[in-house]
Homo-oligomer: A and B are copies of this chain.
């Protein structure tokens, strides 16, 4: 008789209940596929009295997730509580110390403590798996760690926060300003309790830093991700970009070069007809580029009960099947300390500014660009309908320029005395 693989499930929110449902509904399927039953021994959540959409009567209840993590009748500690300090961290450490494998959906925990936890797991001969932490139901950790293992990874790109993509596509489709759609998203329950995790790009930045570690064999360096959220993306820019054939996305890019590791999660213009440009609503997309395979694009639901639980169960089934890999694809001790490189990869930029109606205003701006070594691909002057004064909105699309040169030009613009408001610069990723 094969021993079942016994789960201790910490967290009974959407994802936790999704896991319970799969374990209960697909017992036969799971046994057929792994050769052993997968069972839940015990669960833990803050509020035992809450009405939940699953039958939990067969499971022991632990008030304290640390106690759950240490139970003798638990083989795998499944952490779907969230939060990068406190109970989630303590319980994960307790599980590893007690010789349990860990499956987690917690990107924040790994982005902040991934190296230490990976070292702890490997010293204990245990594994930490986190498919659910990145891009929801898309098996992107597996694709990168295993499916593309024969490649030197050149670049990873992704739209990995469904809430941000929902807000940006809703702004575009309905012509609504950011504040209105943000409020809609809040009322629909799409936002984290602390919404800056979503709209500040932090959640997506966590995910990018985990992918970068696997891709480049480097220690997780979330603190070096260049982060810019979507709070400053205006409906004007969305509309103007659209007219020029671009959509605005919160896009993550990680790549490594002689200068070091570049990681950024920022709003970008992408071609409207590109796979990223066409991504609507809460769907996620990741592009993995390897030296042999070229570009692999994966698309799927980035959140929700079913998709996230599917990813958690993929990890559980891997453990049941005996697959044991180091957390980030190679032993934690061999991961390099990457030099952070501020993005220096040249790209075209979209620049928008409002100029005073003064003779020579445009010439002054063009001079700043020229002196910064930036050449102009397209320029458009927009007539503001219904505006009283004659201030002119001007849009530039530059040829490829180094980010530092764009910064330089932006500073110079401020000294010209012809700007009505703060100019906007958004990178264009021609994927």
A201 at interface, CB cutoff 8 A = no
Contacts of A293 in B (CB 8 A): 137, 300-301, 306-307, 310-311
Contacts of A149 in B (CB 8 A): 30, 33-34, 313-314, 317-318
Are B309 and A32 within 8 A (Cβ)? no
CB within 8 A of A22: which of B18, B30, B150? B150
Complex-state Cα separation, A146 to B310, whole angstroms? 11
Are B152 and A147 within 8 A (Cβ)? no
Are B217 and A32 within 8 A (Cβ)? yes
Are B306 and A294 within 8 A (Cβ)? yes
Are B298 and A296 within 8 A (Cβ)? yes
A334 at interface, CB cutoff 8 A = yes
The closest CB in chain B to the CB of A22 belongs to B150
Binds B, one of A234-242, A319-327, A374-382: A319-327
Residues 379-413 of A contacting B (Cβ, < 8 Å): none
Are A146 and B314 within 8 A (Cβ)? yes
Contacts of A146 in B (CB 8 A): 139, 142, 146, 314, 317-318, 321, 323
Complex-state Cα separation, A42 to B361, whole angstroms? 71
Are A296 and B217 within 8 A (Cβ)? no
Of the candidates A293, A297, A310, A334, the one having the most CB atoms from chain B within 10 angstroms of its own CB is A293
CB within 8 A of A143: which of B22, B147, B290? B147
Contacts of A325 in B (CB 8 A): 321
A198 at interface, CB cutoff 8 A = no
Are A32 and B296 within 8 A (Cβ)? no
Are B142 and A147 within 8 A (Cβ)? yes
Are A294 and B299 within 8 A (Cβ)? no
Are A18 and B152 within 8 A (Cβ)? no
A365 at interface, CB cutoff 8 A = no
A123 at interface, CB cutoff 8 A = no
A295 at interface, CB cutoff 8 A = yes
How many copies of this protein are present in the complex? 2
A260 at interface, CB cutoff 8 A = no
Residues 261-319 of A contacting B (Cβ, < 8 Å): 273, 275, 278, 290-301, 306-307, 309-314, 316-318
Contacts of A321 in B (CB 8 A): 146, 323, 325
Complex-state Cα separation, A18 to B314, whole angstroms? 30
CB within 8 A of A148: which of B273, B296, B298, B314? B314
A375 CB to nearest chain B CB (Å): 30
Complex-state Cα separation, A310 to B148, whole angstroms? 7
A417 at interface, CB cutoff 8 A = no
A35 at interface, CB cutoff 8 A = yes
Contacts of A311 in B (CB 8 A): 147, 293
A415 at interface, CB cutoff 8 A = no
A131 at interface, CB cutoff 8 A = yes
Are A150 and B294 within 8 A (Cβ)? no
Complex-state Cα separation, A409 to B34, whole angstroms? 47
Complex-state Cα separation, A148 to B310, whole angstroms? 7
A147 CB to nearest chain B CB (Å): 3
Residues 9-54 of A contacting B (Cβ, < 8 Å): 18, 21-22, 26, 29-30, 32-35
- Given known contacts A137-B294, A297-B300, A300-B297, is B334 in contact with A150 (CB within 8 Å)? no
Complex-state Cα separation, A57 to B295, whole angstroms? 32
Residues 134-161 of A contacting B (Cβ, < 8 Å): 137-139, 142-143, 146-152
Are B292 and A18 within 8 A (Cβ)? yes
A331 at interface, CB cutoff 8 A = yes
Question: Can you report 9 A-B residue pairs in the complex whose CB atoms are below 8 A from each other?
Answer: A26-B150, A131-B147, A137-B296, A146-B321, A293-B300, A294-B300, A296-B298, A298-B299, A323-B323
Q: Which residues of A contact B (CB under 8 A)?
A: 18, 21-22, 26, 29-30, 32-35, 131, 137-139, 142-143, 146-152, 217, 273, 275, 278, 290-301, 306-307, 309-314, 316-318, 321-325, 329-331, 334
